[in-house]
């Protein structure tokens, strides 16, 4: 009997040990293969925590900013690091969302793309401004910036949350700052400038709409005698997914003169209407574009083309490879299997092999 109890105890200990062991690479949890587009960018390495005085100024100089932006950056300790985080966040999310599209959001060709008015340009503007808004709001609540703190909206719930030491993500500050930083005051006559501003605002709005109020109960055994609430941003993946949907439904626009107001504005052909005479303004949530995109099949100044891209045979090979066909390659992958707990106290596994087939687009 005693031996049994002892065994049970040891088994529990073992379980605990297993829980404490370093987890397998995160990729395994999400069924990722490790070949996904979520790569890091060496030129935008993680921020070093040396943001003191001079070091901060230097960080600002490393970023490609306008004069006014540089001035704002220098005035705001913590901003340069946050901007860099935001750039990386935006790129990673873009590459994740476009991992199985012909245009995979690679950095090649980005400069040329940003000069045009494609749907892809629209997505880049929106995802970048969303990432900036998100990162700034997070940085405020995490105390990484000197000039802003938690969400300090004057509503009562929020102040209570403050007392409990719960910090809301400061979206109000980040939105205000971002508009100043991007210099959106003057709305140009130029169609492209309007389109860029519109798409930038779509990104900001996507973050704002994802704001959730989270509450927590306090009191004797969850009686919820006191409830504190705070505002929390949704994970950036959710915002990325939303923007990708908006990209799929992006609206083509042109410039029209509004006679009543006397200045030009964006217009799209009226949806759900066969009459071409009627125009409608695009909705504030629509991504808008002015030019049809190239196919991205072949190398161009916008992308490297799709030769060599991996695709899934049941899924997107036909469209990804643009009808050129694909190569099939199989290789063996090894993984741990038939794992058994050995007495006492380790796990023994065998190495199993499995054939994996990879499809990739022909030249």
Ligand X SMILES: *[C@@H]1O[C@H](CO)[C@@H](O)[C@H](O)[C@H]1NC(C)=O
Residue 259 three-state SS: coil
Listed in sequence order, the residues at least 6 apart from 62 whose beta carbon sits closer than 8 Å to its beta carbon are: 80
By CB neighbour count within 10 A (0-12 exposed, 13-18 middle, 19+ buried), where does 263 fall?
A: exposed
Footprint of ligand X on residues 105-144 (CB under 6 A)?
106
Q: Confirm or reject binding of residue 309 to ligand X (CB under 6 A).
A: yes
Interface with ligand X by CB under 6 A: which range of 62-70, 241-249, 300-308, 347-355?
Answer: 300-308
Nearer to ligand X, 106 or 234 (CB): 106
Minimum distance between the CB of residue 44 and ligand X, rounded to whole angstroms? 14
Q: Confirm or reject binding of residue 306 to ligand X (CB under 6 A).
A: yes
Neighbour-count burial for 55-82, b at 16+ CB within 10 Å, e otherwise: ebeebbeeeebeeebbebbbebbbbbbb
Nearer to ligand X, 192 or 298 (CB): 298
- Please state the separation of Cα 255 from the chain's center in Å: 30
- Single residue of 11, 44, 74, 95 touching ligand X by CB under 6 A: 95
**77, 80, 86, 92 alpha-carbon torsion, rounded to 10°:** -140
Nearer to ligand X, 108 or 146 (CB): 108
Whether 309 and 103 have beta carbons less than 8 Å apart is answered as no
Residues 115 and 186: their CA atoms lie apart, in Å, by 20
Nearer to ligand X, 287 or 297 (CB): 297
Whether 25 and 38 have beta carbons less than 8 Å apart is answered as no
Q: Confirm or reject binding of residue 308 to ligand X (CB under 6 A).
A: yes
What does the per-residue mask of binding to ligand X show for 35-64, with x meaning CB under 6 A? --x-x-------------------------
Nearer to ligand X, 108 or 248 (CB): 108
Minimum distance between the CB of residue 188 and ligand X, rounded to whole angstroms? 33
**Residues in contact with ligand X by the rule CB under 6 A:** 37, 39, 95, 104, 106, 304-306, 308-309
């Amino acid at each position: 009997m005693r031996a049994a109890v002892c065994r049970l105890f040891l088994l529990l200990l073992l379980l605990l040990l297993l829980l404490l062991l370093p987890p397998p690479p995160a990729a395994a949890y999400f069924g990722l293969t490790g070949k996904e587009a979520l790569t890091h960018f060496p030129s935008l390495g993680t921020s070093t925590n040396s943001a003191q005085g001079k070091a901060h100024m230097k960080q600002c100089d490393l970023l490609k900013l306008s004069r006014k932006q540089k001035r704002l950056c220098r005035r705001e300790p913590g901003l340069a690091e946050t901007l860099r985080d935001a750039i990386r966040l935006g790129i990673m999310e873009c590459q994740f969302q476009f991992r199985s599209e012909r245009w995979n959001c690679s950095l090649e060709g980005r400069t040329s793309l940003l000069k045009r008015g494609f749907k892809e340009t629209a997505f880049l503007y929106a995802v970048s401004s969303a990432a900036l808004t998100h990162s700034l709001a997070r940085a405020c609540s995490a105390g990484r910036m000197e000039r802003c703190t938690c969400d300090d909206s004057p509503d009562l719930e929020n102040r209570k949350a403050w007392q409990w030491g719960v910090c809301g993500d400061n979206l109000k500050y980040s939105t205000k700052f971002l508009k100043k930083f991007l210099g959106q005051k003057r709305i140009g006559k130029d169609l492209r400038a309007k389109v860029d501003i519109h798409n930038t605002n779509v990104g900001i709005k996507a973050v704002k709409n994802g704001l959730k109020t989270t509450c927590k109960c306090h009191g004797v055994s969850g009686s919820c005698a006191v409830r504190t609430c705070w505002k929390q941003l949704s994970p950036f993946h959710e915002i990325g997914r939303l923007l990708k949907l908006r990209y799929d439904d992006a609206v083509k626009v042109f410039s029209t003169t509004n006679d009543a107001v006397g200045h030009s504005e964006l217009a799209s052909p009226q949806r759900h209407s066969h009459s071409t005479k009627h125009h409608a303004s695009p909705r504030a949530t629509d991504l808008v574009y002015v030019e049809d995109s190239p196919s991205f099949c072949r190398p161009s100044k916008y992308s490297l083309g799709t030769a060599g891209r991996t695709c899934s045979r049941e899924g997107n090979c036909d469209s990804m490879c643009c009808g050129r066909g694909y190569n099939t390659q199989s290789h063996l992958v090894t993984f741990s299997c038939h794992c058994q707990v050995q007495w006492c106290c380790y796990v023994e596994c065998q190495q199993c092999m499995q054939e994996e087939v990879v499809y990739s687009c022909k030249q």
